[in-house]
Amino acid sequence: MKIHEYQAKQVLATFGVMAPRGRVAGTVQEAVAAARAIGGSTWVVKAQIHAGGRGKGGGVKLCKDLKAVEAAAEQILGMQLVTHQTGPHGQRVEKVLVEEGMAIAKELYLSMLVDRNSKSVVVLASTEGGMEIEEVAAKTPEKILREIVDPTVGLLPFQAQRLAFGLAIDRIDPKLVNPAASLIAGLYEAFRAKDCSLAEINPLVLTGDGRVVALDAKVTFDDNALFRHKDVVELRDRSEEDPLDSEATDAGLNYIKLEGSIGCMVNGAGLAMGTMDIVQAAGGSPANFLDVGGTANAEGVEQAFRIITKDPHVRCILINIFGGIVRCDVVAEGVVTAFRKVGLAVPVVVRLEGTNKEKAHEIIDGSGLGARLVMADGLRDAARKAVSAAAGKG
């Protein structure tokens, strides 16, 4: 789950991570009032969407008087902001963050994420703040510092200190080494306590008046741990999500909309990815990734049908279920029932493998739904039949 920058800064502030003084605004008038309340003579107006690259897309403006704040808010609020992370359609800006301007002495990069290879948390830091870490890795990989954190022990003080010295903070202002190490420790504690999948500060800035500040912040959370964090769930902004993604989440389904014409309904993320690959290899294009989980019952299949068919580009649905935890005949009965309840207008190709596979074939073949619901013999056959049905060749 993603949250906005201003929300990320609020979360991190409870763990001692300092950010510029700022206020969120939903109207031009609120933006100007926010700048007045913050005080000073320089402000930054920043679009709040779940995507990076906002500055390059015109979503971040430096303002040196209140008239400029007003003009920036007028320009940004309501705009369809297009960045490298939003796709060509962009994202509508509903809120802006108005923050105090800062005298920046140095920009740094800091992030934390789960490293599945080492089964640990990895801290990444770089002196190249403000740049995308992928670009730094490609051009100057030697400028990326890595610190592996054993999750059973946590980030140790010497590791935070080593990162601070590795960023050469002592050469800029020796007095900022300890505050920087404390901020790194605070970010790790936030990452651990809130079950984050990513916590990124880019840039982390050293200011002319002797502060270490998170000028920008990005935090994402592990969806599987949200049941432990009701306060985090309350930060969810559904307006930023695809309606189908949101509906699927509420139904307990893992769904990602794609651009193809073959809807995929599969149990298991790995099998779902393999199914999409084989559809592509057969000349088709998947319309979605959808994992119904290990217990593909009639209710789950019905919900999945309803979500998939809300995509107007879907011309055929391919069901690929491995009957291990659940029997194939139970799945087949659920598919026939859900097919009739939803009143599907697109053909469905079913591939079932596992326990009671033969009974499942009998149920599908005897459903009376004819060519609208057909059984496949193996995944390759299923992919070919789905591609043919999506092309209208039946």
Model confidence over 61-70: pLDDT tens digits?
A: 999 999 999 9
Distance in angstroms (rounded) separating the CA atoms of residues 157 and 276: 46
Cβ contact 8:52 at 8 Å: no
332: its two tokens: 């087949």
Omega before 312 cis (within 30°)? no
Digits of tens for pLDDT over the chain (394 positions)?
A: 999 999 999 999 999 999 999 999 999 999 999 999 999 999 999 999 998 889 888 999 999 999 999 999 999 999 999 988 887 888 999 999 999 999 999 999 999 999 988 899 999 999 999 888 888 888 899 999 999 999 999 999 999 999 999 999 999 999 999 999 999 999 999 999 999 999 999 999 999 899 999 999 999 999 889 999 999 999 998 877 777 877 887 777 888 889 899 999 998 888 999 999 999 999 999 999 998 876 566 677 888 888 999 999 999 999 998 877 678 888 888 889 888 888 888 999 999 888 888 888 889 888 888 888 888 988 999 999 999 999 886 5
Distance in angstroms (rounded) separating the CA atoms of residues 208 and 241: 39
Angle in degrees, 0-180, between the axes of helices 328-342 and 357-365, rounded to the nearest 10: 20
353 burial type by CB count under 10 A (0-12 exposed, 13-18 middle, 19+ buried): middle
Fold of 21-101: Dna Ligase; domain 1 (3.30.1490)
Residue 116: CB atoms within 10 A of its CB come to 7
Cβ contact 105:207 at 8 Å: yes
Q: Which helix (H) or strand (E) holds 279?
A: helix 269-281
pLDDT at 294: 62
For the stretch 107-129, pLDDT in tens is 999 999 999 888 999 999 999 99
Fold of 243-390: Rossmann fold (3.40.50)
3-state helix, strand, coil in the chain (%, to 5): 40, 25, 35
Distance in angstroms (rounded) separating the CA atoms of residues 350 and 319: 5
For the stretch 218-247, pLDDT in tens is 999 998 899 999 999 999 988 777 778 778
pLDDT at 295: 58
Distance in angstroms (rounded) separating the CA atoms of residues 48 and 187: 21
Three-state DSSP class for residue 87: coil
Distance in angstroms (rounded) separating the CA atoms of residues 289 and 257: 7
Angle in degrees, 0-180, between the axes of helices 28-38 and 66-76, rounded to the nearest 10: 140
Please give the single-letter amino acid code of residue 333.
E
* CATH class of the region 1-19+103-241: alpha beta
Cβ contact 333:352 at 8 Å: no
pLDDT at 89: 83
pTM above threshold 0.75 = yes
Cβ contact 363:336 at 8 Å: yes
Distance in angstroms (rounded) separating the CA atoms of residues 133 and 235: 26
Active-site positions read 109, 200
Residue ranges of domains in the chain: 1-19+103-241, 21-101, 243-390
Rg (CA), the chain: 25
Distance in angstroms (rounded) separating the CA atoms of residues 288 and 146: 35
CA within 13 Å, CB half, 143: 17
pLDDT at 372: 87
Residue 35: CB atoms within 10 A of its CB come to 29
Distance in angstroms (rounded) separating the CA atoms of residues 236 and 81: 20
Cβ contact 1:220 at 8 Å: yes
pLDDT at 244: 80
